[in-house]
Structure 1
């Protein structure tokens, strides 16, 4: 991760020395998607930076990931692995820009722009005191994704006669800002801002109120410091004060897809870089092109005939897509329906491991637990996860899969690629018994509990869309959703205990709809915890019934009962019922919906039997 090169005027003389880019630190490739992606704020030693836009990244040495199903959802042509750190130099490809610009010195207590401290090159120290500088703890952001320094000058001079300040650190008074941390309390009351002009000192107490800045006449500046040379945008949203290191500063919007037949064929992976040149060609044109690029020479073991056959399989599969049959479904919904149908069919292992990314087989037996309609062992699966955009202040509303104007862009111009990672592992697919599920979800008690959650979720969506012209999306909550989702959580917790997996290394993929009621539990990490080889064993007939019985037994009682089981609402936004950290909730990396839409009563019922459970 490196700072962008300084802008220079004129031309570089032949033979002149060019200052190499400064290397700031290292992040893992997965972190460039989930933690420190474009627009996020990262602390490096005593400095702070924002990850720059994709149009500044150096991807000349990165590998292309091929997943055409995901391109339909994201609207880009290809995916690129985030650049790896090169230990020999600083050309790691990921750029960063200094943010926030305001720093303070713990010795002289001055609060001003970083450059005004006259720090020596490559060191964030005060030029006068030679003490390490401290980046501003507070920033200003809005729900449209804009980000800027906190307006300290306006905060201090809120009641003065000087009027609005010229920038965040100085104004018409001509004074200099001072920051003092009293240390007498850990609250914001102990952070005091003053000015040498004589204005009364004020603390940061109250700065985090939702309307605190708006009440002072402070408006969003529309700045996007992660995008080089980006003009400020007009924005009518009220700005909010945030902690620089808070998770609310950056919420990633990640899209993912499983590699399923025929796209999981290893031949197609070899064709990925050539796909745009052959996807619409005739058989003769494809053969001519592949011979011209020496396909067989560059891919030992593969032939041109193999490649042509793979292209034809893809064309047949795409011709069978049910888009016309489901005109109201989004591209993401269609993607999930394709996976749901594929997971129910046997796809045995054939030939070389590196030429097959998807292996799915039934268990070696016919015994399935009551309430379970089908179990499939996914012995090999590959997932592509791409960073699509991000939000600030408010995380994307659960169930809102529509394109949102509040999602911030990753580049100044729409990119034709997105950063992505691939995860290979294994899993177990479980489909609920459709007849038993249909009977249970029609019962009044089941519908009443789901209706409570649905009303709360719709209220949350209406609040999120209050200032938007777009229609409020419908809530996906139903009795089926609560049952399928909660069962996935219970099995992840049980398999974590029984199989030795950390819960965070397992992940759910929910398939819920009018004609879908199942889930895939699979390894979610690319490290050693994701390759222990024990998840598939959990789906075998001799283990699944006992693990399911144990999971339901644990769910029948919670250490927080009766408060948990009798709760009228729980969780953020009140979109859970009987679910808490002692019984159902998972690490958020394991859950598709950030631990929303859960109710263990939907599966085990209430102790008095008034509310029936699906699996009791």
Structure 2
């Protein structure tokens, strides 16, 4: 990462110097953990990651995923730059927060007021390393600013109508008596009594001080302050809600998975306006010019037809959700049909085949024949980010922009892995869902989730519908217990496995696949779990394990649990997974829909096989 250049005048003939380095992170972390707008600690310093229009991308590889790029309104994706100490590319960062304190003299002021030696972050008087402020303020629209220490310390010591600063010097010290905010004490040399930080995290703490959001976006260079009516919240600098990524992903499926679409990425705008005969001539000329093999006209026409089929024809903002649903349906259809390895070339990135043995052992569980996804490519793109409010499926959160000017690319990462696709018998699900007990349990989850969506919606008339249905909750909970079971039986860390849900009126499936491409990525271990006999054994073990939780009877009798009360019988001791593995932020879960309740075992979809 590279901080912004110092404000020095340079003559026009001098070459641009290499900027100093401040730490390093993995490329994947630039999408999930330390993306644009996030706060990152490097040694004793703190920085905010700059917008993508400030990155020195250098020779950062280009990633193509045609379906996802069209939905997100970009032409391609880029891996974040990976550089060394001698290169000039990298991700720029800016110092934030600006308020620092000195652990020796207890001075508390903006960092420029410490008269630090050049190139160092030290107190000019004590030569002690400065400590960045532990506290910042942020609002739900993504703005972030320094904590208003002066107003907080003087809140009860200013006469009504009085304005201006007192002219004193701020001090911050820690009494060390406790680890609570009460031990962090702020004072001023103007003579006011000392004030602790206790109460600073209350929702009304800053509104009582009449502190309003100033609309600052320090991650964007030269960004003007936005008008904002939100009341900011006090956050810890390292809080998880200080930065939440909004990541969109897609699987590479035929006809886009054999590399042809990527080879023609720069020429799609030309090809769309040509007839078949013109395209055929264009491809021949291209083969001569590129001195490579000619691309089949049938392949190009299939790509254009697939693109045309994927377009909805409506306004982008209006159909974005339906476009994501269409993307999932395309994947569901391809996963159901498969893509045999013997029919593909070596560059094919999607291989999906049925197991060689019969799937009769899975019939009692209501599962159709599983599909073994032996080769899989997923592209995950950082679309935007949010603060304060946690992004949730179908939730309305403000998406803070990654750059001040629109770019034709987004930062992304690609994962090569494997997985197993499971599909439940839809007729059996529909019959089970008609049960009054099942409907009553799911209705509780649905109403709680819908209430949460209404609370977070900016427009009460445009509240999205909750996806909580019997089919959705059943598939989601099944995916969680299987991931937990495979982590025990197959040796996979639960965080290295990931779910991809396909649940609506026309879909009833789940893909469990490797979420990383490291040693737990594509060695065949997950595919081996999909063999019918082994899968039946894993299902049986998972259901028996779900019959009892160490938190029972409180867990199984729970009327509501989880964030926003969007779960029923689900807790960390039985069903919940690491956040990286779950698409729904560990919401919309109920293991009673798998195995039933002590009072009514028939509520469970798999209750009929537990006694076998």
TM-score (norm 2): 0.94
* Kept after mapping to 2: 8 A contact 1:26/1:85: no
1:487 aligns with 2:484: no
Structure 1 unmatched ranges of 5 or more: none
Deviation at 1:528, TM superposition (A): 1.2
Mapped pair 1:63 → 2:56: no
Query: Is residue 378 of structure 1 aligned with residue 373 of structure 2?
Result: yes
Tell me the equivalent position of 2:600. Answer: 609
Say whether the 8 Å CA contact 2:496–2:516 is kept in structure 1: yes
Query: Which of 295, 310, 313 is 2:302 aligned to?
Result: 313
Matches within 5 A, 1:87-486: 87-89=85-87, 91-161=88-158, 172-283=165-276, 285-286=278-279, 297=290, 303-306=293-296, 308-321=297-310, 323=312, 330-350=322-342, 354-368=346-360, 369=362, 370=364, 371-400=366-395, 404=397, 406-465=398-457, 467-468=458-459, 471-486=462-477
Preserved contact between residue 165 and residue 172 of structure 1 (Cα < 8 Å): no
How far the C-alpha of 1:280 sits from its partner, in A, is: 3.5
Identify the range of structure 1 (147-156 vs 368-377) with the bigger mean alpha-carbon deviation: 368-377
Displacement of 1:261: 0.5
2:454–2:460 contact (8 Å) kept in structure 1: no
C-alpha deviation, 1:292, in angstroms: 6.1
SS in 2 for 1:305: coil
1-structure distance, mates of 2:335, 2:373: 8
Residue 532 (structure 1) aligned to one of 492, 507, 523? 523
Structure-1 separation of matches of 2:568 and 2:99: 44
**Residues in 1 aligned to 2:47 and 2:473: alpha-carbon distance in whole angstroms:** 41
Q: 1:107 to 1:546 in 2, by over 3 A?
A: same
Please give the secondary structure, in 2, of the residue aligned with 1:304.
coil
TM-fit CA distance, 1:471: 1.2
Residue number in structure 1 paired with 2:610: none
CA pair 122-310 structure 1, distance change in 2 beyond 3 A? farther
- The 1-side partners of 2:149 and 2:162 are apart by 9
What is the Cα deviation at residue 216 of structure 1? Answer: 1.0
Distance (Å, rounded) in 2 between the aligned partners of 1:575 and 1:344: 30
Aligned residue in 2 for 1:5: 5
What's the CA shift string for 1:550-581, capped at 9, x where partnerless?
11110111111111111111111110011111
2:496 to 505, 512, 521: 505
| Cα separation, 1, equivalents of 2:392 and 2:48 | 24
Q: Which residue of 1 aligns with 2:36?
A: 38
Q: What per-residue deviation string (whole Å, max 9, x for no partner) do you get for residues 78-123 of structure 1?
A: 111111122433x242110110001100111111111111112222
Per-residue CA deviations over 1:316-346 (Å, capped at 9, x if unaligned) read: 2234448489x97611111001111110002
- How many residues were matched structurally? 600
Between 422-431 and 308-317, report the one with greater CA deviation: 308-317
Q: CA deviation at 1:295?
A: 7.3
How much does 1:589 deviate? 0.2
Q: CA deviation at 1:374?
A: 3.1
**Matches of 1:479 and 1:578 in 2, distance apart?**
14
Shift of 1:538: 0.7
Structure 2, unmatched stretches of 5+, are 608-612
Matched, 1:570 2:569: no
**Cα distance in structure 1, aligned partners of 2:471 and 2:538:** 22
Inter-CA distance 164–360: structure 2 relative to 1 (3 Å threshold): farther
Instruction: Please give the alpha-carbon distance, in whole angstroms, between the structure 2 residues aligned to 1:418 and 1:517.
Output: 31
Task: Select 1:600's aligned residue among 567, 591, 608.
Answer: 591
State whether residues 162 and 172 of structure 1, in contact with CA within 8 Å, keep that contact through their aligned partners in structure 2.
Answer: no
* Distance change (3 Å), C-alpha of 1:222 and 1:515: same
Summarize deviations over 1:586-612 as a string: whole Å, max 9, x none: 111000011110101101111233552
Q: Output one character per residue of 1:392-437: Cα deviation in whole Å (capped at 9) or x when no partner.
A: 011023333x6x5x11110112222100000011100000011110
Q: How much has 1:291 moved relative to structure 2?
A: 6.1
Question: CA shift at 1:541, angstroms?
Answer: 1.7
Measured in 1, the distance between the counterparts of 2:338 and 2:373 equals: 10
CA distance in 2, matches of 1:196, 1:187: 24
Q: Deviations over 1:248-305 (max 9, x none)?
A: 1000000000000001112223223443443433455546655666678575xxx223
Superposed, which structure 2 residues align to 1:76-91 within 5 Å? Answer: 76-89=74-87, 91=88
Q: Report the Cα distance in structure 2 between the residues aligned to 1:352 and 1:453, rounded to whole angstroms.
A: 44
* Root mean square deviation, CA, Å: 2.2
Shift of 1:504: 0.5
Q: Helix, strand or coil: the match of 2:358?
A: coil
